[in-house]
Amino acid sequence: MSVSNSNPKDDSNFHLVSIRAASRKLGIPYHLLLNAVKSGTLPSYKPFNSRRFVLLGEIEAHILAHRSGGEQ
């Protein structure tokens, strides 16, 4: 399942993936992502009343928006 994207060549960040799959792909601890979703820090999607899914691009955007130090 994917969300429409203006650039179909690079739609990997616009695929809905499980929280566990996102944690593996991004190298982020599962419980860290789960807590962020539960607290509402990161948006999640529950299509058809199933498990929660996230968009990789939204997680990466959140991380980049909250980085500190270094060149920005």
The tally of domains found in the chain comes to 1
Supply the DSSP string of 9-31, one letter for each residue: GG-GGGBEEEHHHHHHHHT--HH
Helices 19-26/56-65 angle, 10° precision: 60
Residue 3 lies in a domain: no
Confidence (pLDDT) at 52: 94
Residue 21 lies in a domain: yes
Region 30-49: mean pLDDT is 94
Over the stretch 15-24, which tens digit does the pLDDT of each residue have? Answer: 899 999 999 9
Structural domain of 14: 8-65
User: CA 37 to CA 62: how far, in whole Å?
Assistant: 12
Q: Which of 15, 2, 18 is nearest to 50 (CA)?
A: 18
* CATH number for 52: 1.10.1660
Total-model pTM: 0.74
pLDDT for 3 beyond 80: no
